[in-house]
Structure 1
Amino acid sequence: MTSRFMLIVAAISGFIYVALGAFGAHVLSKTLGVVEMGWIQTGLQYQAFHTLAIFGLAVAMQRRISIWFYWSSV
């Protein structure tokens, strides 16, 4: 995997995070209960953390900080 590919994946993942968050806040909040909205919020937090991790690995690969970052992304 190249750093460019990982940046594209991070961008797509960030888009999905924002789109699902907006959909959940504006559409699903009217039909789902508090417990279900909590599940969606937890899932979106996981999506955000993974997006940031992918972005961080892509930046590390661009700068070639450590070979371990490269191998962790394979």
Structure 2
Amino acid sequence: MNYSAIILGAIFGFLAIILGAFGAHLLKKKLTPELLQSFETGVKYQMYHAIVLLVLGFQLNNQLSIDNYIIYSFIIGVILFSFSIYGLVISSANNKKLKFLGPITPLGGLFLALGWLLIIYKYSLLSFI
């Protein structure tokens, strides 16, 4: 069991609910439909990976390096991907777009993709043993 993954998965899930409600109720009046859709994309990806972290937290352990790499890839990916989107959208709504966040979003996506690739790698190795 990986308690870090379980705790951070739960925190990400909680924050996805809060941020989703924030977007749907408070930001809906301030954002263009395109910005609102971007914000919702960040929330969706955060929630999907919160659930993944919870599942992995119960399945993986802290003893194997690859398990830790998988967990950290998802954690870093969510922070970089979703939270950079939130920053971009909210700053754009206030006409002070934080342009430096633009390149961070795809980097977060790469970490999320890496987490999935590491799962494939781990279990494809096990299938040959």
What band does the TM-score fall into relative to the shorter chain? 0.7 to 0.9
Counterpart of 2:31 in structure 1 is 32
Q: CA RMSD in A?
A: 2.1
Give aligned-pair identity as a percent.
Answer: 30
- Name the count of aligned residue pairs: 69
TM-score of the superposition, structure 2-length normalised?
0.47
Counterpart of 1:18 in structure 2 is 17
Deviation at 1:56, TM superposition (A): 1.3
Deviation at 1:5, TM superposition (A): 2.1
Any gaps of 5 or more consecutive residues in structure 2?
Answer: 73-129
Within 2, Cα distance between the matches of 1:68 and 1:50? 20
- Greater Rg over alpha carbons, structure: 2
Q: What amino acid is the match of 1:70?
A: D
- CA separation of 1:58 and 1:69: change in aligned 2, threshold 3 A: farther
Map residues 1-74 of structure 1 onto 2, 5 A cutoff.
3-61=2-60, 70-71=67-68, 72-73=70-71
Contact 1:57 1:69 in 2 (8 A): no
Q: Give the SS at the match of 2:39.
A: helix
Select the structure with the greater relative contact order (CA < 8 A; seq sep ≥ 6).
1
TM-score of the superposition, structure 1-length normalised?
0.77
Deviation at 1:41, TM superposition (A): 1.1
- CA separation of 1:68 and 1:5: change in aligned 2, threshold 3 A: closer
Within 1, Cα distance between the matches of 2:57 and 2:31? 36
Q: What amino acid is the match of 2:67?
A: Y
Q: Give the SS at the match of 1:73.
A: helix
| Runs of at least 4 residues off by over 2 Å | 67-74
Within 1, Cα distance between the matches of 2:50 and 2:35? 23
